[in-house]
Structure 1
Amino acid sequence: MDEAMSRRLLMLCACAAMSGAALAQTMADPTQPPPELLRLQATGPDAAPAIVKGPQLQSVLTGTRGRQVAVIDGQTVPLGEKFNGATLIKVGKNQVVLKNGREQQVLTLFPEVEADAKNAAHKR
């Protein structure tokens, strides 16, 4: 075998070894709540998981050139586009608004935390 062929073979083996190591690593889902929030929910007084009805807002993305996008149930929805027949009409810092005819639906990031805060405020 000539020297060039040996180098190629060695490079191919190195690439194969590195790709195997990369596949073995698991990546965290960036749309999931932070671990601290999950722990707080699990150890709270009402440790039963909250039942979520309807679509869930998972992320809000705003670009430097004014582009606004929401991730709803794993689907990327740009401002003005449709999600399940409803149009995304507003993208805020922690919430979005979907409009279907005359009906509007507000989706909030971490709705169970917001509900807990409202309940705590009412108890005072």
Structure 2
Amino acid sequence: MASDLAPTGSVSVRPLRERGQHEVFCGLTSIMWLHRKMQDAFFLVVGSRTCAHLLQSAAGVMIFAEPRFATAIIEERDLAGMADMHAELDTVVARLLARRPEIRMLVLVGSCPSEVIMLDLA
């Protein structure tokens, strides 16, 4: 066992290395941390229904009730370039602010690239 000890007296451990994609980390999960740190912020996630369900599970709140989250659902016509994404997003933000005038800080959060959302829509 003496050969397994590092110079500091602790047991040396060889790191486990794996190749390939085994786990996937979605950046949206970090919003829960921001949600707790930025108490006056409202988060509008631009993504798919899967993004909304992920946030709902991670937060333990009903996203569709819009406590401090909402999701702007990207649809096929948005991905196909048939709609001006900026104009669509401006419309969604204007409707949200009209319904919720108490929002002082609105954080727009993008989700997966369009290729991943296309798989979700399929």
Structure in which a larger fraction of residues adopt strand: 1
TM over 0.5: no
- Please give the TM-score of this superposition, normalised by the length of structure 1: 0.25
Greater RCO structure (CA 8 Å; 6+ sep): 2
Q: Which has the larger radius of gyration?
A: 1
Structure in which a larger fraction of residues adopt helix: 2
